[in-house]
């Protein structure tokens, strides 16, 4: 398994062989389609085809989105969510990369820890929240732990597989030159594994946001996830949909930001 | 070298550390180091678990969860593959669908639950659609990348041989991009399971997710853990089955 | 390239270092209270806003939990000192061996005219009683809990057999749609959803399970762990004192704009919407006989296997 085999959550426009170049204006039909769908939504609500307290016209949602941004409340919620996602992500990255490298290179530790990791891996995140509340409470500790746990697996797996599939000749060559194990790590192992690690980090980037929101929805008192539930209970669907919009925007921006960063940091990415 | 074959190679040794953890947990419970109400001992959990299995009580929720998941997952896999190939081979469809896909994809799916409840009601349809929404995008994107990453010579050859469009898709494109389609389906498997459990928690009719939450709300911690064991077993079995299927379908995989 | 990496790192660090909460006031004893953002907890917010707790040397930090799902589990997990929850959850927790106590009364629904928690049906359905609901379905927010229990009791009290009624789990915000779309035949709703739903027409109230089945029922309670009650009795006493002053203020200002504004502030519900339903007076003390009745109902509906010692569950402070 090579890094390129690992399905990434990158955008559609990217392929293994590089970015698809599109003729300008080729997305126009798609944009029109979205506009048409939104108009249909607006009409279905205004004309009373769909009558529900939870189906406001799009124009109300836009007004709510503007008010939300001007009042700053959505920014406060987003910051709380992003903060939890970021802490969990950083913790998962450190643990995932370190354990991935160590377990791939040390047989004894691999025998000891890999089975444990494999047992926890298939556990769906929502299932683990109820028992964890009893131990960690409903505060940041819980949410950050859940984010870290969910983000850990893709990072760990790609790192582990990446290190394990390094060409043996590379290691042997390095050994012949009798370089120290630290230099082996930084000079040989890490650069060769970086594309694989990046693929795992990318998957985790979108995962950490989703999981942070999810945990806030189940056991929250702040953050966008809680805000969504709160607005539902306060019968303010316009604010709720507006928050979903900002959330999607944030997710999109995170993904794009990661791709841009990756392209700069690992220029040899994708050339497997 | 794949780490999965490595795990198999360890054989019985791979059971050593989980067994050790369970022993320490059991011992800690017996010595009174843990709160017996919050954290039951493994043997107590296994007892409840065995009771669920022997009485057959495990069956209906298990079938509920597996049924919803499989329906959603199969739909998502077919839809994702079809859309992925369509968007990768047709510039028109790409232009039409790409903006929609890119704007729906980053929405955390749990946030869509209220909308789905409104249109589909609270029941199986909503749950299946949630699974589809969660699983379709990884399959779609992976398929798209797989098809776009194919060797142009392959497609040129098909064109020179004047093979029809549908035959090109089924005999050339589909087999060649199968590894990437399966890679997307592997990611979708995990996401689909997450959403089916979440859906069962939010619209509790039956299913493993409902049982876990219901026992938590009634503070029946042993039963809750027993259902989590059921879930872990189910998740593990699904992943194993997928790996076996993948190895059958793409035997050249992992022999790099 | 290196610079971009450093920038990324700094950005992450910046997010990690974002302040989690505002600085606490000095010299005040802090209590964390989990609340459900509904009208019932208005006295608590009134007491906070009017400075009653501050005068007693307490600082109350409220944490909302929409729907109340995170309440008692969060109390057990150590996130809260006090939880506003329902009596059924508290008794279920005690039955499973958890150490929780009722320290103050929350609600007391005696007058059906003031009861904003009705069972609604479609006006054209012809359903009038529990008997009519046999073979049909009713929406409750969660099964095996307080709403479910009183919906069952109401079905029975109005001549029906609860075993022959389907109880469907539907979150409160989705109940009205489910009812109008004929996905359920009845719904046990709470404000503000019940208010909005009955304003719009097409739906009829056929009963008020709380006040019909058990006039004076104590649905809501303030709950703490027995450990905290034993370790900081003085603090809990101060909390109950401050809360009672809040209840007195609330009962004296039932129709005031100030109260509606207060409730709108923490529930985020529009003031205009809140004003559509009258607010019931709230109790100063828990009523042991009412809790006993609830417990009997729980036994009858197999939520509890045997009676519990209520003297140990309801702290004398609450009475």
Calculate the alpha carbon distances from C224 to A138, A246, C74, C310 in Å.
16, 38, 11, 15
Q: What is the mean pLDDT of residues A242-252?
A: 92
C223 and C99 in a common domain: yes
In a domain, B121, yes or no: yes
In a domain, B91, yes or no: yes
C120 and C95 in a common domain: no
Query: Do residues B188 and B246 lie in contact, with contact meaning Cβ atoms separated by under 8 Å?
Result: no
Residues C41, C267: Cα–Cα separation, whole Å: 10
The predicted structure's pLDDT at residue C23: 45
C77 and C33 in a common domain: yes
Partner residue opposite A83 with nearest CB, options C8, C15, C79: C15
Calculate the alpha carbon distances from C222 to A270, C100, C101, C233 in Å.
59, 10, 9, 15
Q: Report how many domains make up chain C.
A: 2
Query: Which CATH number belongs to the domain containing residue B106 in this structure?
Result: 1.10.3720.10
Q: What is the mean pLDDT of chain C?
A: 88
Contact check, Cβ <8 Å, B3/A119:
no
Strand segments, DSSP code E, in A61-165 are none
The predicted structure's pLDDT at residue C3: 55
Cis check for the bond before B16: say yes or no (omega within 30 of 0): no
DSSP string, C269-293: --HHHHTTSPPPP--SS--HHHHHH
Partner residue opposite A122 with nearest CB, options B109, B118, B232: B232
Q: What is the mean pLDDT of residues C209-222?
A: 91
* Domains by residue range for chain A, with CATH: 64-265 (1.10.3720.10)
Residue that is last in its domain, among C181, C213, C245:
C213
User: Nearest Cα to C273, choosing from C36, C39, C63?
Assistant: C39
Q: What is the mean pLDDT of residues C149-153?
A: 95
Q: Report how many domains make up chain B.
A: 1
A82 touches chain C (CB under 8 A): yes
> With contacts defined as CB-CB under 8 Å, which chain A residues touch C268?
230-231, 234, 236
Helix (H, G, I), strand (E, B) or coil at C237: helix
Which residue did the predictor score with more confidence, A80 or B13?
A: A80
> pLDDT, tens digit, for every residue of A44-65?
989 888 888 888 999 999 999 9
C223 and C206 in a common domain: no
> With contacts defined as CB-CB under 8 Å, which chain C residues touch A139?
79
The predicted structure's pLDDT at residue B24: 93
Q: What is the mean pLDDT of residues C292-318?
A: 93
The ipTM estimated for the assembled molecules is 0.83
In a domain, C16, yes or no: no
Residues C5, A131: Cα–Cα separation, whole Å: 38
| pLDDT band at residue A121 using 50, 70 and 90 as cut-offs | confident
Highest mean pLDDT among A147-151, B147-151, C65-69: A147-151
Contact check, Cβ <8 Å, C93/B37:
no
The parts of chain B modelled with pLDDT lower than 70 are 1-11, 252-256
Which residue did the predictor score with more confidence, A222 or C151?
A: C151
Residue to mutate among C36, C70, C96, with most A CBs inside 10 A, is C70
In a domain, B227, yes or no: yes
The predicted structure's pLDDT at residue C63: 87
Partner residue opposite C70 with nearest CB, options A133, A231, A235: A133
User: Nearest Cα to A246, choosing from A225, A264, A232, A266?
Assistant: A225
Does position C18 have pLDDT exceeding 70, yes or no? no
- Which residues, at least 6 apart from A147, have a Cβ–Cβ distance to it below 8 Å? A84, A85, A87, A88, A89, A92, A208, A211, A212, A215
B10 touches chain A (CB under 8 A): yes
Residue to mutate among C32, C61, C74, with most A CBs inside 10 A, is C74
| pLDDT band at residue C15 using 50, 70 and 90 as cut-offs | low
Residues listed for chain B: 256
Does pTM surpass 0.80? yes
Residue that is last in its domain, among C213, C234, C259:
C213
C191 touches chain A (CB under 8 A): no
In a domain, B3, yes or no: no
C225 and C96 in a common domain: yes
Contact check, Cβ <8 Å, A122/B238:
yes
In a domain, B34, yes or no: no
Q: What is the mean pLDDT of residues A259-266?
A: 84
C294 and C238 in a common domain: yes
Query: Which CATH number belongs to the domain containing residue C152 in this structure?
Result: 3.40.190.10
Q: Are strands C29-35 and C58-64 parallel, antiparallel or unpaired?
A: parallel
Instruction: List the alpha helices (DSSP H) in C21-62.
Output: 42-49, 52-55
In a domain, B120, yes or no: yes
- Closest CA–CA distance from residue C204 to any residue of chain B (Å): 21
Give the other-Cβ count within 10 Å of B155's Cβ. Answer: 17
- Structural domain that includes position C128: 113-213
User: Nearest Cα to A210, choosing from C131, C9, B190?
Assistant: B190
The predicted structure's pLDDT at residue C67: 63
The predicted structure's pLDDT at residue B209: 92
Query: Do residues C55 and C83 lie in contact, with contact meaning Cβ atoms separated by under 8 Å?
Result: no
Helix (H, G, I), strand (E, B) or coil at A242: helix
The predicted structure's pLDDT at residue A178: 78
> With contacts defined as CB-CB under 8 Å, which chain B residues touch A127?
197, 208-209, 212, 228, 231
Q: What is the mean pLDDT of chain A?
A: 84
């Amino acid at each position: 398994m090579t890094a390129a085999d690992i399905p990434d959550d990158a955008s559609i426009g990217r392929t293994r062989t590089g970015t698809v170049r599109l003729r300008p204006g080729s997305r126009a039909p798609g944009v029109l389609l979205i506009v048409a769908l939104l108009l249909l939504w607006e009409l279905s609500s205004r004309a009373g085809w769909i009558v529900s307290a939870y189906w406001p016209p799009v124009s109300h949602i836009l007004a709510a989105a503007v008010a939300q941004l001007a009042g700053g409340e959505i920014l406060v919620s987003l910051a709380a969510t992003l903060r939890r996602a970021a802490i969990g992500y950083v913790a998962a990255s450190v643990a995932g990369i370190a354990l991935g490298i160590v377990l791939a290179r040390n047989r004894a530790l691999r025998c000891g820890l890999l089975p444990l990791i494999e047992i926890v891996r298939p556990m769906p995140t929502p299932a683990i929240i109820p028992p964890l509340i009893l131990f960690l409470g409903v505060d940041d500790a819980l949410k950050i732990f859940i984010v870290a746990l969910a983000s850990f697996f893709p990072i760990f797996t790609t790192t582990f597989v990446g290190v394990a599939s390094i060409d043996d000749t590379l290691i042997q060559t390095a050994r012949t030159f009798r370089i120290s194990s630290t230099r082996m790590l930084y000079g040989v192992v890490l650069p060769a594994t970086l594309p694989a690690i990046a693929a795992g980090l990318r998957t985790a980037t979108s995962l950490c946001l989703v999981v942070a929101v999810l945990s806030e929805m189940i056991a929250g008192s702040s953050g966008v996830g809680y805000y969504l539930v709160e607005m539902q209970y306060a019968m303010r669907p316009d604010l709720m949909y507006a928050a979903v919009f900002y959330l999607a925007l944030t997710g999109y921006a995170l993904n794009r930001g990661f791709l841009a960063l990756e392209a700069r940091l690992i220029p040899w990415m994708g050339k497997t | 070298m794949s780490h999965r074959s490595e795990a198999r190679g360890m054989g019985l040794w791979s059971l050593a550390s989980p067994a050790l953890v369970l022993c320490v947990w059991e011992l800690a419970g017996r010595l009174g180091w843990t709160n017996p109400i919050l954290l039951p001992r493994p043997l107590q959990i296994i007892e409840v678990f065995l009771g669920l299995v022997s009485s057959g009580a495990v069956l209906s929720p298990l079938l509920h969860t597996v049924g919803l998941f499989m329906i959603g997952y199969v739909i998502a896999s077919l839809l994702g593959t079809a859309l992925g190939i369509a968007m990768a081979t047709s510039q028109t469809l790409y232009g039409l669908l790409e903006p929609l896909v890119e704007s729906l994809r980053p929405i955390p799916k749990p946030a869509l639950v209220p909308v789905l409840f409104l249109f589909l009601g609270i029941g199986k349809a909503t749950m299946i659609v949630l699974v589809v929404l969660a699983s379709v995008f990884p399959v779609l994107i992976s398929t798209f990348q797989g098809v776009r990453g194919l060797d142009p010579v392959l497609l040129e050859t098909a064109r020179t041989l004047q093979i029809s469009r549908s035959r090109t898709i089924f005999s050339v494109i589909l087999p060649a991009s199968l590894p990437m389609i399966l890679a997307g389906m592997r990611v979708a498997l995990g996401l689909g399971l997450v959403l089916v459990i979440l859906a069962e928690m939010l619209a509790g009719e039956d299913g493993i997710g409902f049982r876990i939450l219901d026992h938590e709300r009634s503070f029946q911690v042993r039963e809750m853990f027993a259902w989590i064991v059921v879930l872990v077993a189910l998740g593990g079995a699904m992943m194993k089955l997928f790996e076996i299927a993948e190895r059958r379908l793409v035997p050249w995989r992992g022999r790099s | 390239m290196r610079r971009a990496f450093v920038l990324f790192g700094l950005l992450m660090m910046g997010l990690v270092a974002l302040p989690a909460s505002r600085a606490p006031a000095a010299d005040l004893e802090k209590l964390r209270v989990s609340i459900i953002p509904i009208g019932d907890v208005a006295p608590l917010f009134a007491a906070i806003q009017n400075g009653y707790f501050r005068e007693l040397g307490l600082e109350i930090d409220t944490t909302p939990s929409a729907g109340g799902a995170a309440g008692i589990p969060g109390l057990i997990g150590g996130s809260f000192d006090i939880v506003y929850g329902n009596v059924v959850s508290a008794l279920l927790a005690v039955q499973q061996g958890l150490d929780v106590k009722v320290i103050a009364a929350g609600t007391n629904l005696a007058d059906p005219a003031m009861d904003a928690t009705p069972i609604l049906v479609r006006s054209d359905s012809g359903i009038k009683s529990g008997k009519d609901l046999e073979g049909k379905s009713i929406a409750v927010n969660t099964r095996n809990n307080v709403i479910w229990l009183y919906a069952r009791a109401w079905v029975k009290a109005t001549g029906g057999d609860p075993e022959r009624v389907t109880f469907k789990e539907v979150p409160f915000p989705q109940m009205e749609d489910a009812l109008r779309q004929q996905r359920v035949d009845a719904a046990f709703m709470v404000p503000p959803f019940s208010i909005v739903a009955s304003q719009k027409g097409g739906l009829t109230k056929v009963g008020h399970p709380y006040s019909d089945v058990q006039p004076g029922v104590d649905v809501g309670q303030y709950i703490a762990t027995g450990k905290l009650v034993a370790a900081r009795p003085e603090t809990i006493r101060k909390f109950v004192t401050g809360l009672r002053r809040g209840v007195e203020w609330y009962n004296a200002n039932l129709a005031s704009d100030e109260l509606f504004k207060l409730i709108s502030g923490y529930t985020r519900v529009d003031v205009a919407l809140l004003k559509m339903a009258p607010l019931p007076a709230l109790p100063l003390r828990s009523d042991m006989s009412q809790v006993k009745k609830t417990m009997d109902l729980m036994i009858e509906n197999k939520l509890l296997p045997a009676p519990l010692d209520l003297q140990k569950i309801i702290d004398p402070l609450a009475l």
